[in-house]
Structure 1
Amino acid sequence: MRNERLRDALLRNGFTPTDVALAIRVDAKTVERWITKGRTPYPKHRHALAAMLRESESYLWPDAVAPEHAAQVSESEVIRIYPHRNSVPVEVWDRLIDAAAKRVDVLVHAALFLVERPAFIKELRRKAEAGSGIRLCFGDPASREVARRSEEEGLGKGTLAARIRNALAFYRPLQGVAGVEMRFHRSTLYNSIFRFDNEMIVNTHVYGIQGAHAPALHLRRLSIGSLFETYSECFDAVWTSARSATF
């Protein structure tokens, strides 16, 4: 079975099997078999190729690492647990945003607190112009899911939709900027996800509690861990089902 994840990662990074073979000193036909036949490389080659592609081993070869080992490593992916999202220090957000050079992924309903950071939108534009990929996924303010969440959080009918529209006004300058994509989702959002390269803040959602007061996890990706990868795959799944945001 073809390894589509490996194939896609090579294409995204502009690498050919020959490039990989030269970089990690294996035969190009061996690399082809890793892709077309789904063969699993030796650990040293997995590590080198994952680093080269800036992906985790657990993403590229999900079955290569024993579940027990992956679980142990995943514990080390947790940098800190905060009792509430609004207790994540401002300097942590500043560092994550400032340091991101390749990817910024945001999955939220509104996240007005981000645009309260005065330079946030300008920083996203600057990063996109420097080659970073920016994906912003908001709750569809016209959806039943947003209306239901607004009531479940005790905000009242239409309040969350209004917050989303308010937030979108700040993001309007990013429309049409190369490298910035914005979409609306209609999913039942179990977690808000804020990814900055290989670090991430996951804001869990708790019934009846507003997001700012729900717990948050600060994660850092490790090559064979699976926790960071789980939330990355969650983002991708919602992103794939979302539609282009027009506002």
Structure 2
Amino acid sequence: MPNERLKSIMVSGGWTYTALAEKAGVDTKSVERWANQNRTPRLAAARLAAEALGEDMFALWPSLRRPSAARVMSPEMVAQYERRADVPVSAFVDLLGKAVERIDVLVYAAVFLHEAYPRLNDLLRERAAGGCAVRIALGDPDSENVRQRGQEEKFGHGIESRCRLALMHYRPLLGTPGVELRTHGSTLYNSPYRADDQVLVNAHVWGLNAYGAPVWHLQRTGAGTLFDTYAASFDAVWSTARPVEEN
């Protein structure tokens, strides 16, 4: 039995299966199954698809379970993902690409961004040229905390190598007005990717690689403190980080 409501909304809005699939971070056949077989998507994909269509996801897919009163999300919570691997890279790129005033990124390496989107440096240069302040904090590959993280994740010296690789990716940005690059040796409890008043936070879990850990998409609303907590955390690490020198 097809999902006539979804099909009608897609037709009226000029949505193709491929376009909606890209927004929801799934393959095209999944969207075809949603529309033609009334299959229920995973919660994260349903939220992204409904947001793109401007609809209520529970109205599109009545079989989705609404959260109980005890599990209602904070008004600052835009979306939540079970794993970073569930977040399409386009979500990171779109977020950073819309920044006007500030981009803050705090990671150990996160080389997945450059690997999946080779134009990342160009995007950051464009944002900086438009007046956006860009701050990138990468893990110091020689720090004890980076080495310890490699042991905890059973990744060995791989994480140190990835920190060096990340620095190699970002180094061409040195000297770009509006862009600052630093290295830090802090214990990384989370990796925030902030663009103005929105942030994707990759929470870290002991013994688990970052791609398998949850991600929260938060926005500053003035009605909560989650966003400001992570913004303050970035500033605290940034104040201890060392500027990368040109050479």
Q: TM-score when scaled to structure 2? A: 0.68
Assess if the C-alpha contact under 8 Å between 2:84 and 2:211 holds in 1.
yes
Gaps of 5+ in 2: 1-71
Question: Residue 154 of structure 1 aligns to which amino acid in structure 2?
Answer: K
Assess if the C-alpha contact under 8 Å between 1:136 and 1:183 holds in 2.
yes
Q: Distance in 2 between matches of 1:90 and 1:140?
A: 24
Assess if the C-alpha contact under 8 Å between 2:146 and 2:185 holds in 1.
yes
Q: Distance in 1 between matches of 2:217 and 2:173?
A: 27
Q: What is the CA-CA distance between 1:94 and the residue it aligns to?
A: 2.8
Q: Distance in 1 between matches of 2:89 and 2:190?
A: 20
- In the alignment, which residue of structure 1 is the partner of 2:133? 133
Q: Distance in 2 between matches of 1:90 and 1:100?
A: 16
Q: What is the CA-CA distance between 1:90 and the residue it aligns to?
A: 3.0
> Residues 12-161 of structure 1: matches in 2 within 5 Å?
75-116=74-115, 117-156=117-156, 158-161=157-160
- The 1:112/1:222 distance shift into structure 2, 3 A limit, reads same
Q: Distance in 2 between matches of 1:126 and 1:142?
A: 31
Q: Distance in 1 between matches of 2:216 and 2:168?
A: 28
Q: 3-state SS of the aligned residue for 2:93?
A: helix
- In the alignment, which residue of structure 1 is the partner of 2:185? 186
Q: Distance in 2 between matches of 1:86 and 1:240?
A: 30
- The 1:90/1:184 distance shift into structure 2, 3 A limit, reads closer
Q: Distance in 2 between matches of 1:74 and 1:142?
A: 39
Q: Which has the higher contact order (CA 8 A, sep 6+)?
A: 1
In the TM superposition, what whole-angstrom CA distance separates every residue of 1:72-128 from its partner, at most 9, and x where no partner exists? Answer: x98110111100011112332232122111111000000101112121111101111
Q: What is the CA-CA distance between 1:200 and the residue it aligns to?
A: 0.5
- In the alignment, which residue of structure 1 is the partner of 2:223? 224
Question: Residue 179 of structure 2 aligns to which amino acid in structure 1?
Answer: V
Assess if the C-alpha contact under 8 Å between 1:74 and 1:226 holds in 2.
no
Q: 3-state SS of the aligned residue for 1:142?
A: coil
- In the alignment, which residue of structure 2 is the partner of 1:210? 209
Assess if the C-alpha contact under 8 Å between 1:201 and 1:217 holds in 2.
yes
- In the alignment, which residue of structure 1 is the partner of 2:239? 240
The runs of 4+ residues in structure 1 deviating greater than 3 Å are none
Q: Distance in 2 between matches of 1:150 and 1:128?
A: 33
Question: Residue 146 of structure 1 aligns to which amino acid in structure 2?
Answer: V
Q: TM-score when scaled to structure 1? A: 0.68
In the TM superposition, what whole-angstrom CA distance separates every residue of 1:43-85 from its partner, at most 9, and x where no partner exists? Answer: xxxxxxxxxxxxxxxxxxxxxxxxxxxxxx9811011110001
Q: Distance in 1 between matches of 2:229 and 2:138?
A: 20
Q: 3-state SS of the aligned residue for 2:217?
A: strand
Q: 3-state SS of the aligned residue for 2:224?
A: coil
Question: Residue 219 of structure 2 aligns to which amino acid in structure 1?
Answer: R
Corresponding position: 1:171 with 2:165: no
For the aligned residues, what is the CA RMSD?
1.7
Assess if the C-alpha contact under 8 Å between 1:74 and 1:227 holds in 2.
no
Q: Distance in 2 between matches of 1:91 and 1:144?
A: 33
- The 1:76/1:154 distance shift into structure 2, 3 A limit, reads same
Q: What is the CA-CA distance between 1:160 and the residue it aligns to?
A: 0.8
Q: Distance in 2 between matches of 1:246 and 1:159?
A: 24
Q: 3-state SS of the aligned residue for 2:122?
A: helix
Q: 3-state SS of the aligned residue for 1:75?
A: coil
